Amino acid sequence: MRTPLRVLVAFKEGDTDNLFVETLCRGIAGLGVDITYSTEHFWNEELASYDIIHLQWPEELVGWSCNAPEVVEQLRVRIGYWRNRGARIVYTRHNLRPHYANPFIKAAYDVVEQAADVVVHMGEYSYNEFLAEHPQSCNRIIPHHLYEDTYPQDLSPEVARRKLGIGRTKFVLTAFGKFRNREEVSMVLSAWLHTHLPGKYLLAPRLLPFYRKPWYRQVTKRWMSQIAYHTLIPLARLWHIRAGSNEDIVSNDRLPYYLAASDVVMVQRKEILNSGNVPLGFLFGKVVIGPDTGNVGPLLRQTGNPTFDPDNTKSIVTAIEDAYRLRLAGHGEANYRYAQEHFGLEQISRAYVAAYEEARAMKL
């Protein structure tokens, strides 16, 4: 009889607005696996031994704004340390490449990809793309899990809208992720202004690249940012948009109100591999739209949800209008049923345990 798996997931401890790791670890622990997550243990633990080191975002290990080549080399050495202690490396591929790339973070991605014994992908696009570049790699497809037992799901749209101050009869399109660049802002605003639907209301809490309390050292920049923030928010309301600063994180306590109040959830990316907002929207029984790119497009098309060409405003408008009709037809409930069947936390956790066992069985 084999001993229980011991797994270290390299991810930061403490508060985070990304519950992917915390929820997954809870599901895997429920299957009898000794699993913990910590970047501190990854870098500094000298006494513990693990069967599996499970890597997530390389930026979690070297820093999201890393600009030091020695840190990348330290990462290479540290992974070697764990391998010498008998651990195998499993890597979940969240991104093709870093969102905010520089040569050092790109190098960290190369280190992680080359070290991985098993690479987990959330869809076939990532699987095929990676296999073409690394034909000798061991790859497995495991979809994004549901955030089960994480958020209250008994919130009615009426209660949520009262909480957020949104009219009961509005058609609410929600894009609650951080807008990463001007291209994403322009893409969404252009499509929204060309969309003509009754009672339309865009909920985009992290839309604006300006701040209520700017941190800029230059006084002029601070004033300009404050002026823009306080000018654009009321102006946006004239366009049926509720906007906020992209640095204002939506808390995990507040997030379910945004979802419950929504009619449609939008993945507002021009380029993306995976999005947790798709299974999250499904979990709350919402229609979801997004770009026909990465793993996102095939999943949305497979489930009958609209996709769009992010470089074509008319395509995005059509997707919004189609989502409006699908919502009236009850397609959100179909999304919920699909998610329960394919993305359940226990099901996905079992798939990860199987990947761990496969990695552990590999020859050192």
* Structural class in CATH, domain 6-145+344-359: alpha beta
Structure tokens at 46: 């000298």
Q: What are the residue ranges spanned by the domains of the chain?
A: 6-145+344-359, 157-342
Q: Are the C-beta atoms of 207 and 126 separated by less than 8 Å? A: no
Question: What pLDDT sits at residue 213?
Answer: 58
Structure tokens at 226: 């404050």
Bridge partner list, 266? 289
Phi-psi region of 330 (alpha: psi -120 to 50; beta: other; left: phi over 0): left
Question: What pLDDT sits at residue 17?
Answer: 74
Strand order in the sheet with 171-174: 241-245, 200-208, 171-174, 264-266, 287-291, 307-308
Whole-prediction pTM: 0.92
For 291, phi and psi rounded to 5 degrees?
-70, 150
- 84-118 pLDDT, tens digit per residue, is 999 999 999 999 988 777 899 999 999 999 999 99
Question: What pLDDT sits at residue 223?
Answer: 45
HEC assignment per residue over the chain: CCCCCEEEEECCCCCCCCCHHHHHHHHHHCCCCEEEECHHHHHHCCCCCCCEEEECCCHHHHCCCCCCHHHHHHHHHHHHHHHHCCCEEEEECCCCCCCCCCHHHHHHHHHHHHHCCEEEECCHHHHHHHHHHCCCCCEEECCCCCCCCCCCCCCCHHHHHHHHCCCCCCEEEECCCCCCCHHHHHHHHHHHHCCCCCCEEEEEEEEECCCCCCCCCCHHHHHHHHHHHHHHHHHHHHCCEEEEECCCCCCCCCHHHHHHHCCEEECCCCCCCCCCHHHHHHHCCCEEEEECCCCHHHHHHHCCCCEECCCCHHHHHHHHHHHHHHHHCCHHHHHHHHHHHHCCHHHHHHHHHHHHHHHHCCCC
CA distances from 276 to 19, 73, 117, 289, 337 (A): 10, 31, 25, 13, 17
Name the stretches of the chain with pLDDT < 50: 216, 218-221, 223, 228
- Integer Cα distance of 353 and 356 in angstroms: 5
What is 157-342's CATH number? Answer: 3.40.50.2000
- 58-82 pLDDT, tens digit per residue, is 999 999 888 888 999 999 999 999 9
Asked whether the domain spanning 157-342 has the same topology as the one spanning 6-145+344-359, the reply is: yes
Closest CA to 146 of 259, 59, 36: 259
- Integer Cα distance of 351 and 345 in angstroms: 10
Question: What pLDDT sits at residue 224?
Answer: 55
